[in-house]
Amino acid sequence: MTVTIQAAKRRFLFTGAFILAVLWISVPPEVNAMMSIKQEKEMRQQLLQMVKNQVPIIDDPDIIGYVSELGHRVLEQVPVKFFDYQFFVIKDDGLNAFAMPGGLIFVHTGLIENIESDDELVCVLAHEIGHVQGRHIARRMDRMKKVNIATAAMAIASLFLGSSEATSALLASSQALNASIALKYSRSDEEEADRRAYQWICRAGYNPLGLVKTLKKMDRYRWLGTDAIPSYLSTHPGGDERFTYLEDLARHKPCKIKSYRDPFRLKEVQVEIKAMTHEPAVLIREYRKKIKENPDDLFALQGLALSLIKARDYEEALRVYDRLIKLAGERHEFRVDQARAYFAAGRYTRAATLLEQYTMDHPGDLTARFYLAKSYLEDGKPGKALSVLKKLEKKWHDPLNYYLETGRCYAAMDRPGEAHYYLYLYYRTLGNIATADYHKRRAKEILPSNSKLYSRLMDYSRQDPKHRKNTSEDRDDMEKINR
């Protein structure tokens, strides 16, 4: 997948513009003290809104579930968590990952495609969690003292822009340049994040040297890439020095490595990402060639089936899945993919039948249960769909799509109060404030005031950030950044 300079600029310009807007909303005009945890939490929704509006976020439950599962294995080792963490995958071929205030962790598809084991991704996620738990951005803003909030926002944005022309535009003033330098992670920040991560990685049973392997890959990518591609190491300094002390740490404090890795799952996710991020016609030719050389190559068959679905050749894709499942034997994961292929082809009854059988044997597979609910809903059975979704409410890792599908179920069942409530949560999480306010207003009008949902609605309403109008000067600055 080719990344152009203009595409890279467009992809990452959102950071400066958005954080600029967020900080106007969330904190006073001047940064006189360290941001509170409450302020970081309030900033979270606006940050997420801009990311979703400006960069392509992968919404595939299997991919998000894989990353979230590894991330939560790290979080299980964190004794006191400041935030409710959420994990996202950005459709981009850069070897990159970053964290934003409030517990938002982003990983690029390019990084997942290039790792060789779960250990490498776990280590990157642990390191990013270490920055959030260390509250490094908030601490650096505290040291800046009386830097105005617009300058601080442009400086934060520049951290994710590498050395592109967009960075030069954001850092037009010497004050902004100085602020950017002040906000960059220091070696002490990096070491603190690494040491925190090392403890959590060990406790979780992974190999902490996975971080060294991944950083070296990122370092090579930086030199092979272009100036427009943001460099992980530009905001995470100290390459050789970090490699040395991490390797020393591993020698002096060795970890007990556990054996629950699943290289098959990683490979399956990598094939899914490749099918999602590359041209289907090219992949179809590539996978047909691999299958000709090795007819029993499970991942080539998986890749071919997914590419055919993307090309809307559903019937051949289903034939490939029939063959794949016969060859896969005890590897049951492909059965869910087969059901999703029937769903994509609009054959919802067949998809539901397959998923009913599968979930009886594998009740812990949340992705299968979520797609069973979607199949029921599209097959005209919203009551059955809602029953499945309710059992997933506290387990499902993707609240956005959970809210949407639940709201659609209630709407199909002619229960408008509940439908508006869940659609309010959907648009609130999405960051669409105007539409969220509409659904909130309608839910308040319809739901009984003594109901649990009405009470929860009032609780959410009290948490909604209060927005103030930007001044004309603020809007002018935003327009400059967007240009």
Mean pLDDT of the chain: 78
How far apart CA 110 and CA 92 sit, in angstroms, is: 6
pLDDT value, residue 481: 29
pLDDT value, residue 38: 78
State the sign of the Cα–Cα–Cα–Cα dihedral 202, 206, 209, 211.
negative
Question: Over the stretch 33-82, which tens digit does the pLDDT of each residue have?
Answer: 566 777 777 777 766 766 676 678 888 888 998 999 999 999 999 988 88
How far apart CA 185 and CA 178 sit, in angstroms, is: 14
User: For the chain, what percent of residues have pLDDT higher than 70?
Assistant: 72
For residue 386, being part of any structural domain is answered with: no
For residue 193, being part of any structural domain is answered with: yes
User: For the chain, what percent of residues have pLDDT higher than 90?
Assistant: 43
Higher-confidence residue of 222 and 59: namely: 59
Confidence band of 174 (pLDDT split at 50, 70, 90): very low
145-179 per-residue burial string, b: 16 or more CB within 10 A, e: under 16: eebebbbbbbbbbbbbbbebebbebbbeeeebbeb
Highest average pLDDT, of 59-68, 93-102, 469-478, comes from: 59-68
For residue 391, being part of any structural domain is answered with: no
For residue 368, being part of any structural domain is answered with: no
For residue 158, being part of any structural domain is answered with: yes
Last residue in a domain, options 252, 279, 304: 252
User: Any residues with CB less than 8 A from the CB of 419 and at least 6 apart, and which?
Assistant: 407, 408, 410, 411
pLDDT value, residue 143: 59
Contact 213, 120 (CB under 8 A): yes
Checking if the pLDDT of 144 tops 70, the result is: no
Checking if the pLDDT of 327 tops 90, the result is: yes
446-464 per-residue burial string, b: 16 or more CB within 10 A, e: under 16: bbeeeeebbeebeeeeeee
Contact 420, 442 (CB under 8 A): yes
How far apart CA 39 and CA 454 sit, in angstroms, is: 26
State the sign of the Cα–Cα–Cα–Cα dihedral 434, 439, 444, 445.
positive
For residue 88, being part of any structural domain is answered with: yes
Place of tokens 């995958």: 89
Higher-confidence residue of 170 and 319: namely: 319
Containing domain of residue 443, as a range? 398-483
pLDDT value, residue 195: 85
Indicate the number of domains in the chain. Answer: 2
Query: HSE (CB half, 13 Å, CA atoms) of 320?
Result: 25
Lowest mean pLDDT among 56-70, 215-229, 271-285, 351-365: 215-229
| Amino acid identity at 371 | Y
For residue 296, being part of any structural domain is answered with: no
pLDDT value, residue 431: 72
User: What is the 3 state secondary structure string of the chain?
Assistant: CCCCHHHHHHHHHHHHHHHHHHHHHHCCCECCCCCCHHHHHHHHHHHHHHHHHHCCECCCHHHHHHHHHHHHHHHCCCCCCCCCCEEEEECCCCCCEEEECCCEEEEEHHHHHHCCCHHHHHHHHHHHHHHHHHCHHHHHHHHHCCCEHHHHHHHHHHCCCCCCHHHHHHCCCHHHHHHHHHHCCCHHHHHHHHHHHHHHHHHHCCCCCHHHHHHHHHHHHHHHCCCCCCCHHHHCCCHHHHHHHHHHHHHHCCCCCCCCCCHHHHHHHHHHHHHHHCCHHHHHHHHHHHHHHCCCCHHHHHHHHHHHHHCCCHHHHHHHHHHHHHHHCCCCHHHHHHHHHHHHCCCHHHHHHHHHHHHHHCCCCHHHHHHHHHHHHHCCCHHHHHHHHHHHCCCCCCHHHHHHHHHHHHHHCCCHHHHHHHHHHHHHHHCCHHHHHHHHHHHHHHCCCCCHHHHHHHHHHHHCCCCCCCCHHHHHHHHHHHC
Last residue in a domain, options 225, 252, 279: 252
Contact 314, 341 (CB under 8 A): yes
How far apart CA 124 and CA 240 sit, in angstroms, is: 17
How long, in residues, is the chain? 483
For residue 292, being part of any structural domain is answered with: no
State the sign of the Cα–Cα–Cα–Cα dihedral 162, 168, 169, 175.
positive
Lowest mean pLDDT among 158-162, 228-232, 327-331: 228-232
Read off the pLDDT of each residue in 192-196 and give the average, rounded to a whole number: 85
How far apart CA 287 and CA 279 sit, in angstroms, is: 12
Checking if the pLDDT of 301 tops 70, the result is: yes
Read off the pLDDT of each residue in 172-185 and give the average, rounded to a whole number: 48
| Amino acid identity at 276 | M
Contact 174, 183 (CB under 8 A): no
Last residue in a domain, options 223, 252, 281: 252
Read off the pLDDT of each residue in 23-39 and give the average, rounded to a whole number: 52
Lowest mean pLDDT among 202-206, 355-359, 375-379: 202-206
